[in-house]
Structures are given as C-alpha cells and as structure tokens.
Chain A
Amino acid sequence: VTVLVWGLALEPPIAAVRAQLEAQHTPAIFIDQHRIADLGLRLLVDVDGVHGCLNTPDGAYDLRTVSAMYARPYDSRLLPGIQMCGSDSQAWRHAAAFDAALWAWTDVTPALVVNRLGPTSTNGSKPYQLDRIRGAGFELPETLITTDPLQAEAFWERHRRVIYKSVSSTRSIVQPLATEHRARLGNITTCPTQFQQHIDGTDFRVHVVGDEVFACEIRSAASDYRYAAESDVTMCTVRLPESVDYRCRTAARLLELPLAGIDLRRTPNDQWYCFEVNPSPAFTFFEEATGQPIGAAIARLLARPQPT
C-alpha cells in the first residue's frame, strides 16, 4: 500500500491526513504544490493498462505501486509564485501541464482516488448535483434559477422567505432576500441567479468516509453558519436516525464520492433537507470543534487494500 497526497502542506485537511497516515504507519508520497516547479510526470496508457512515473524532490516513484490518493489541490496556476509569472511563462505552462497530467492519471488509474475529478465536479453546478441525489430520499428545497425579475418576484411571493446563493461552486454567502433587494432584482437579467425557499430548522454537517459516517449538529442564528462569528456557532456530535444515515451513504454513493461533506437541515416537523454535497470538505473545521476522528477515518480508507 502506497498513498499519494496532493495539495499544500500547510492546508489543514492535507496536514491532518498526512499526520494520520504517518500515525497509522502507511507509506505516503506527498506531492507538494509549493514545489510545483520541481514536479514531473510521465504517463503512458496502452492496451496493458496505465503506467506512470512521478518525479518529486524526494525521488521518482512508479505510479503502478500507488494504491490510493487523497487529492485536495488548488489550481497550481493560481499559486502566488506561478500567477505572478504570467500565463506566457514556463512556470505557468509547466504548472498547467503537470495538473492536467496528474488529473488524467486519476481518471484512469485503478487506485482509489479521494476524490476523482468527474464526481468532484458535480459540485460545480449545485442544481445539477441536487438532481443527481434525488434518489437518496432527502427533501430538496424548491429552487428557481432565472434571469426574469418577475419570475423571481413570483417565487418570493409564493414562498415568503427566500434565500439566494451562487449556482456554481464559487463560494458565496447564503443571503436571505430582503426588502432592500427588491430594487436590485432587475440586475438578474445579466446572469441567471439562484433563489431557494428558506427552510427553517437546525443545520447538520455529515461526513461520509467510505463506510463511516460522522454527523455534527450546528446551532447558529445565521443564514450561513460558515460566516457567523465563532461565538455564535456551537457544534456537537450526534447520532443520525438510521434512515437519514442511510440517505447520506446513498447520496455519497450516487455521486461516486468516497469522501463527502453533506449539508443537511432538519425542520421542526422532522423533515430532512439536503442543500449540497461538498466533494472536498474542509473536515478539520468540524473535527476541531467536535473531536470527531474524520482524518483518521480518511487515512484508514486510503490504507485499505484496493481490488486490482
């Protein structure tokens, strides 16, 4: 068993997974994006399968010996040292070529990849992703995406309480639609804008890691707890009802994500709504608040022998 870890050394989830792999004595190779200029890759795909050689400052590695990978890279072109060189520079072209080559390897390798690019990209269109997990059995918030101010007004009228947020994976603060926004609704003709019925209730973040499920209840008065003041958010470990636990596992399976961070809300009458499935969750935020051993579970998943 050899595990690849791809990302930035100081990023908390990367640091946590590396520490847990070490604690579990699992051999790991770190692909440090800060050393992007020193990284190289040869990849060959033929009738016999996938062959590759990874060059890092620590040595050269035969990719056929890799059984699993934890991938949480940033776009290497956007790293400060690369971006400042400009898109015509060697550094930029090398960074783009390395990322493309390694992602291509993840597309074809029989190794376990946490997570592959295709399943990860479902989060790039939130309505598409929700449609993909329709079969999991969660309640899904009524959603309207439109460039038509009149349609938005009618949706707002019907639901009374409505939020708006980005359609893509571009991070945006979930905001309630308020009276002062009415005058700006005309601006939505420029770009399709997503509106969603507001759901009252308590937030939950559930991490599915292979066969393991970690659920965390979040209490906050904010529409988007991620942006609330730290003192206004409390988190605690909870045990999900069996049926909800099953739905979480099903959603992760439908999206082909061995690791998933699922955002749920339970209404006062015990309906469970799903808002989003994060394919690259910053699990350490929840791990630190609750003590849930999520990083250790990821390391166990990566160390599990894979079928060849």
Chain B
Amino acid sequence: VLLILASPGDVAAHALAAAWSSYRAAVVTWSDLSCAGWRYASSSADGASCSVGGRVVPAADIEAILTRAATVDPADLVEIAEHDRDYVAAEMHAFLVAWLSALGGRVVNRPTPRSLLGPLWPAEVWVHLAASLSIPVKPTHRQVDPLPAGVDPSAGDSGSARLVDLAREPHVPESWSAVTVVGERAFGDGHVTLKHNALALAHAAGADLLEVTFDGRDAAARLVSADPKPTLEDEAVVVAVRRYLCARR
C-alpha cells in the first residue's frame, strides 16, 4: 500500500488517495493512531505495523509513505479529552518520528525530530545553505522590536509593536517562481538553472520532495526559501510523486 500521513483536515491528501486508488493508496490521520495495531520495536522495521481505517498493516506491506504534516496538532485530537490533548499530541509526534525513521527510504521526506515533513526550516537556514552552495540568494530580513513602553502587553493587534518577517511575505509576487523537486527531477516554468539550483539545495538538505521559491524566472533569479510540503496541484508533479513513491521499495 501507499500511505499518505496527513492531518484530518487535509483535503488534498484525500484527493491524492482517491487519484491513486489503483495503487492501494490510503490516508493515515491521527485518529488512526488511536486504534490498536501500531507497533515499533527498538528501531527495527521488522515487526513494525500500523493501523489504517481499522485495518492492521504490517510494515512489510507498505511500499512508501508520503508525509503531509509537520506535527500532530493537539486541536485535531477531538476524540481525546481536552486536558490530555497536548500530552497525547507530543507522544504521537515522538512515536511517529521513531516509527517513520525505522522505515528508512520508504518515507518521503524522512522525518526529523522537529518535523515529520523533513527539513522544515526558517528562510534563514535555506538562504544560508544555498549561499554555501554558491546559489544566488535573496537576503532575509527579520526584525522583532521590543514592546514600546506604555503599551498594554495584553492588547491585540491594534498596538504599535512591529513584527516584521520579510522572509515570510504572505503575498508571493507574480514575478516569483517555484521549482518542485521530486527525487532527481525538477518541475517549474523557470529557467533550467533554477532547476539545477533547486536540485542541489534539495540534495544538500536531504529532501526528496521540496518546493523552492525564487524571486524571478530567469537564470539569475535568487533563492528566497524552500518548503518540504509542495502544493501538489500540477498534474505532472503528482504523477512524478506517485512514481517516485512506487519506486521506493
């Protein structure tokens, strides 16, 4: 089976599972972690298992897992008593880090303790890594000012505290472009140089799947940031991801 690990509200994950139904794809959510059938024993994939829709699936039957969530959000655990949700979310996340790691290269991307998605880094880290690879970069600026004296700290957004994070501009300018890396392939409408740069960055970060943003489409465009959770709307990318997953065994 192909598994897609996602939060319960991830509509795109369910759409992928439907599109890949002939490949026995299924979505695994946190609700499945509250069912008998999960097993991890001292880092070995031997004997590991999971529970998907009430059915126990041995690790040996799993072709690959696509991860679509960075962590377990306590707010998603509606079946758990409210006062236990933070603890249970932390335990589920910790379990998944170990369980997914034990499955090795079958998991896209391989998790880190900080993120089930793999390298979910701030823009500063991506820019720093890219610069070390001689990839042109757009400088990141981040500024957090002290709260002004006399301002009520419990006040909402109407106050004057300035929190600027230019690396995470909410509106991506039209002139920017994105390259999606899937294994050794790169997709996007930018210059081929950007694809080479995106592949080099993904390789250095140990990411199989990565969306890399540049501030233009030409060869000189600078790297802005990267995200291990691509949007997966382009049909060619979706097909490439499915093929990549099927080739994991």
The answer to whether A107 touches B114 (Cβ under 8 A) is: no
Of the candidates B99, B143, B161, the one whose C-beta lies within 8 Å of that of A93 is: B161
Could you tell me if B144 and A94 are in contact, using CB atoms closer than 8 angstroms? yes
Within 8 Å by CB of A170, from B87, B99, B146, B152, lies: B87
Contact call B159/A191, Cβ cutoff below 8 A: no
How far, in Å, is B117 (CB) from chain A's closest CB? 14
Is B35 in the interface zone, CB < 8 Å from A? Answer: yes
Kindly provide the distance from the CB of B214 to the nearest chain A CB, expressed in whole angstroms. Answer: 15
CB of A228 closer than 8 Å to a CB of B? no
Interface size on A, residues (CB 8 A): 68
In the complex, what's the smallest C-beta–C-beta distance from B30 to chain A, in angstroms?
10
Report the number of A-B residue pairs with Cβ-Cβ less than 8 Å. Answer: 212
Chain B window 24-43, contacts with chain A (Cβ cutoff 8 Å), 1 for yes, 0 for no: 00000000011111111111
**B147: CB under 8 A from chain A?**
yes
Q: Which residues on the A side are within 8 Å of B156 (C-beta)?
A: 88-90
Cβ contacts under 8 Å, A167 to chain B: 91, 94-95, 98
CA gap between A49 and B114 in the complex, in Å: 24
Closest residue of A by beta carbon distance from B136: A47
**What chain A residues lie within 8 Å of B95 (beta carbons)?**
125, 127, 145, 167, 192
Q: Is the CB of B33 within 8 A of A121?
A: no
- Asked whether any CB of chain A lies closer than 8 Å to the CB of B55, the reply is no
Q: Collect the chain B residues with CB atoms within 8 Å of residue A223's CB.
A: none
In angstroms, Cα B223 to Cα A45, docked, is 12
A134 within 8 A of B: yes
State in angstroms the CA–CA spacing of A130 and B163 once bound together: 39
Pair B36/A86 contact, Cβ less than 8 Å = no
Report yes or no: A101 in contact with B142, Cβ–Cβ below 8 A.
Answer: yes
Q: Which of B102, B121, B123, B151 contacts A90 (CB 8 A)?
A: B151
Residues in A whose Cβ lies below 8 Å from that of B152? 90
Cβ-defined partner of A42 (8 Å) among B51, B142, B151: B142
CB of B41 within 8 A of CB of A147, answer no
- Give the distance in Å from the alpha carbon of A190 to the alpha carbon of B101 in the complex: 22
B163 x A94 contact (CB < 8 A): yes
Q: Are B144 and A118 in contact (CB under 8 A)?
A: no
CB-CB < 8 A to A41: which residues of B?
142-144
Asked if A146 and B38 sit within 8 Å, CB to CB, the answer is yes
B144 touches A124 (CB 8 A): no
CB of B88 closer than 8 Å to a CB of A: yes
In the bound complex, CA of A129 to CA of B114 (Å): 12
30 A/B residue pairs, CB under 8 Å, sorted by A: A40-B145, A41-B144, A42-B142, A43-B140, A46-B139, A50-B128, A82-B153, A84-B154, A85-B154, A90-B147, A90-B156, A91-B154, A94-B147, A100-B122, A104-B142, A107-B125, A108-B128, A118-B114, A122-B113, A127-B40, A128-B97, A129-B113, A134-B43, A146-B38, A148-B39, A149-B36, A170-B87, A170-B91, A189-B35, A192-B33
Interface of B with A (CB < 8 Å)?
33-43, 51, 80, 87-88, 90-95, 97-99, 101-102, 112-114, 121-125, 127-128, 131, 136-137, 139-147, 151-157, 159, 161, 163, 165
The 4 closest A-B pairs by CB, nearest first: A91-B153, A46-B139, A168-B94, A127-B98
